[in-house]
Structures are given as structure tokens and as C-alpha cells.
Structure 1
Amino acid sequence: MNQNQVNIRKYEAADHNACMDAFKTNVPKYFTLEEVNEYEQFLAKLDNPEVLDNPLYYVMELENKFIGCGGIGEKEGIDGIPSITFVWGMVHNESHKKGFGEQLLQFRLGEIKLHFPTKKVILDTTQFSYTFFAKYGFKTLKITENGYGEGMHRYDMVLDESSKS
């Protein structure tokens, strides 16, 4: 794979259907069926320029073909401290295991460093993805069994400060 051909850009309303398609390819392994509607509502807010509290959301393409999407946004951490988190990140299942998730993660970490250099970086994910984030310096703070639904455990994680440099 030639990484130079990967393009990550800001989400546009025209990306709505491609993002929904990618999301659905990750159900039920990475997202629950119930989350399909939540994600649709999230995209509808992004599609509305009147909404002022939109997170920074991005689309990843390779040779003009949609690969994945994900963003960052502000969120209160489980310790009550305002933090930055990842927002609805995913790679279309046809593009799994090709390094795109890592590129999207590194891009978002770069955006956090640029826009929010002093904030703590947190995320929540499932038992199916937490090891991916652990490879990049995220430490598990809390595990909630069935936190997203039956059989989907929630892992609350924080980026080790020594990994941010």
C-alpha cells in the first residue's frame, strides 16, 4: 500500500452515505445495531452547518475511494476533567488489516496535538478494539461488562502522557 495516496480531509455532507455504509459493515462486531440510529443522528448534525458544537470529523480516501472516517471532540473524562476523545472512528470492513486504522489514529492524534495540546486524551471502545489502542499508548482505566449492550464490553482508556510527545 502506498501511504502517500491516502487523503484525509474534513467531512462534508456528501460523505454521509459512505460513512453510513462503512458503519453498517462494522455491525455487529464493532458497533451494535442500536448504534446505527445514533450514528445517523450524529451525521445529521454534522450535515447541518447551523450546529455550532460539531466535533472535528474527517474522511479517509485512497485514490478517491472511501476507506474510513473518524473525528475528535471534547468530552468530560471519567475523572471529571475536560478531555479530548475520539468520535465515531471506523474503517470500512473491506479495508481492515491494511494499516488504515493506524493512519487514521495517527492523524487524529496529530490534530489533537495541534488543536488541544494540553488536554488529556481519552476514548471508550470495546473488547474487540482495545488492544489496537493499547499499542499506541492507551491504558485501560475501567471496564464495564455489557457497557454497550449484551456481549459488548466498554473499555474506558486514557493516553499515557509519556506517549503524547
Structure 2
Amino acid sequence: MNPTELRIRPYTAADENAVIELFRGNLAPYFVAAEETDLRAFLHGEISTEGLPYFVAERPGWPGLVAAGGFALNDPHAVLTWGMVERRLHGQGLGRTFTVFRIRECQRAYPGRGIEIKTSQHTEGFYARLGFRTLATEPDKWAPGLHEVYMLLPAAGAPESAAAG
């Protein structure tokens, strides 16, 4: 995907329904329905997230949002939060472009810190290709067959290019 086709901007409350649709479009295997309550609380700032960077992405000619995600500080590391991409667009480089954007913004906000993510076995390979390494796995953490994979991108391990891959 051509990164210039992606318009990334800060999340606003008017984006909530579109983010929820992105989430629902990624149920099984990436999320479980019970997580929607946590996502809504996050978007409403009820989970100590008020003012934390959260972004959405649009693509010309595509109705609605194509990606959403942010980052926060989770001492001693930074952390990527609630990242998702329109399921019909998986495998086109959009997720990589959007995630590299989030990593770079996170590195600017929290220089010298590693970046962690709690993801699943279904996206572990995606993050590994961006330089994250797996530190722990907790089987069935979110649901039967949906494991939590804790990964870390070391402070010096920035991806080389958003356009590559």
C-alpha cells in the first residue's frame, strides 16, 4: 500500500461508532465480543486514558475508518493500545504503515523507552516482523484458544521503513 494514501488523524468522540465497527469486524480470531466493554471504556477515558494519543486512519475511496490505535506510558515502557485494521484490508501493508506511525509517535513522546504490546498468537508474527520479541505467553487468557502474547520492542529497535514489507 502506498503510505501517502493513508490519512492519519487524532481520534474524536465522533469516531466511536466507526472504531467499534472496526473492532466488531475483527472478532474471531483477533478479539472476543466481551472486550467491547473495555474498548468503549477506553474510548470514553474511563480507564486512565484521557488525553492519551489515539489515532484513526482513513483511505480515499473507502467508506469509514480503515484503522485505529494509540499508545500510552506503562512504566517502565510505553505500550501500544487498541490497534486494529479493517479486516477486508489485512495483508495490504496498511497495518504496517499505521503501526510504524504509532511506534514513531510513541518514540517521540517517550524517547529511550521500549514499547510493549499484549497481543494474541494471531498477530504475534506481524509484530515480530516489526522488531518486537516475545517475552511471555499466557494460554487462553482472553478466551479458550485466544492466548495473550506479551512482546517488547527494545528502545533502539525502530522499524526501518513504513513502506517496506
| TM-score after normalising by structure 1 | 0.87
Query: Which one-letter code corresponds to 1:8 in the other structure?
Result: I
Give CA-to-partner distance per residue, 1:44-72, whole Å, 9 cap, x none: 228xxxx7743210001111741010000
Contact 2:42 2:49 in 1 (8 A): no
1:23 aligns with 2:23: yes
Give the drift of 1:3.
Answer: 2.4
Range with greater deviation from structure 2 (61-70 or 19-28)? 61-70
Question: Partner of 1:92 in structure 2?
Answer: 86
1:122 Cα deviation after fit: 0.7
The answer for the alignment partner of 2:154 in structure 1 is: 160
Mapped to 2, the partners of 1:64 and 1:73 lie a distance apart of 31
Aligned residue identity for 1:4? T
Q: Deviations over 1:14-43 (max 9, x none)?
A: 111110000000012100111011112211
Match of 1:114 among 102, 108, 118: 108
Provide, for residues 58-101 of structure 1, a one-character-per-residue CA deviation record: whole Å limited to 9, x for no partner. 0011117410100001114xxxxx21000000001122111110
Aligned residues: CA RMSD: 1.8
Percent identity of paired positions between Structure 1 and Structure 2: 29
Assess, with a 3 A threshold, how the Cα gap between structure 1 residues 155 and 110 changes in structure 2: closer, same or farther.
same
Determine the C-alpha separation between the residues in 2 that align with 1:24 and 1:52.
21
Do the aligned partners of 2:112 and 2:156 also contact (CA within 8 Å) in 1? Answer: no
Is this contact kept in 1: 2:69–2:80, CA < 8 A? Answer: yes
Higher share in strand: 1
* Aligned residue number for residue 73 of structure 2: 74
User: Aligned pairs, how many?
Assistant: 156
Structure 1 residue 109: Cα displacement: 1.0
Query: What runs of 5+ residues in structure 1 fail to find an aligned partner?
Result: 77-81
Q: Which has the higher contact order (CA 8 A, sep 6+)?
A: 2
Gaps of at least 5 residues in structure 2 are 160-165
Residues 5-154 of structure 1: matches in 2 within 5 Å? 5-45=5-45, 53-63=50-60, 65=62, 66-76=65-75, 82-154=76-148
